[in-house]
């Protein structure tokens, strides 16, 4: 049912935890299943690059795997590039997700957008 990549990221999630001096923290929940995620970003102010990223989730296995993959996909990227990462990008990078689990990948991408929006607001 799950690809080897999904199982790998579920069993060995990358970039788990908090960043104490994070530039921004995104937080979203899925009202349907009740799962939540917090995503921490450390951003280089001068060139708007994501220097570090981590997450904590109270979510299902697919939420763990997709969050882990999102952190790998956007680490080192500029904010505008990171915003182009969609749930489909994440699912593709994981060699697919079962259709019933596609919504789980919204958690991490929405938390990423939330954190970037918060960061941009502090710079206005
Ligand atoms: Fe809630 Fe997957 S079932 S995020």
CATH number at residue 73: 3.90.1010.10
Could you tell me the distance, in angstroms and rounded to a whole number, from the CA of residue 110 to the centre of ligand 1? 13
* pTM of structure: 0.95
Q: Does some domain include residue 70?
A: yes
Q: What is the pLDDT of residue 123?
A: 85
Ramachandran class of 17: left when φ > 0, alpha when ψ lies in -120 to 50, beta otherwise: left
Q: Is 59 in the pocket of ligand 1 (CB under 6 A)?
A: yes
Substitution candidate for ligand 1 out of 10, 31, 60, 110 with most atoms within 8 A of CB: 60
* Active site (annotated) includes residue 60: no
Atom of ligand 1 nearest to the CA of 101: 2
Domain total of the chain: 1
Q: Does residue 124 sit within a domain? A: no
- Give domain status of residue 123, yes or no: no
Is the minimum distance from the CB of 98 to ligand 1 under 6 angstroms? no
Q: Which position among 104, 108, 112, 116 bears the catalytic label?
A: 104
Domain of 58, in residue numbers? 4-117
- How many percent of the chain have pLDDT more than 90? 93
pLDDT for the residue 1 = 84
For residue 56, being part of any structural domain is answered with: yes
Examine residue 50 and state whether it is found in any structural domain, yes or no: yes
Percent of the chain with pLDDT over 70: 100
CB 70 within 8 A of CB 84: no
Distance CA 97, CA 47 (A): 34
Neighbours of 40 (CB within 10 A): 24
State pLDDT tens for residues 26-75. Answer: 999 998 899 999 999 999 999 999 999 999 999 999 999 999 999 999 99
Please indicate, yes or no, if residue 122 is contained in any of the structural domains. Answer: no
């Amino acid at each position: 049912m799950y690809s080897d990549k999904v199982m790998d990221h579920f069993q060995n999630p990358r970039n788990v935890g908090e960043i104490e001096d994070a530039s921004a923290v995104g937080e979203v929940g899925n009202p349907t299943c009740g799962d939540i995620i917090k995503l921490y970003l450390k951003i280089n102010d001068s060139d708007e690059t994501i220097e570090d990223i981590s997450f904590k989730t109270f979510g299902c296995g697919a939420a763990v795997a997709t969050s882990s993959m999102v952190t790998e996909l956007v680490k080192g990227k500029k904010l505008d590039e990171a915003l182009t990462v969609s749930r489909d990008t994440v699912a593709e990078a994981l060699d697919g997700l079962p259709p019933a689990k596609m919504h789980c990948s919204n958690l991490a991408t929405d938390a990423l957008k939330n954190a970037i929006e918060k960061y941009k607001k502090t710079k206005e």
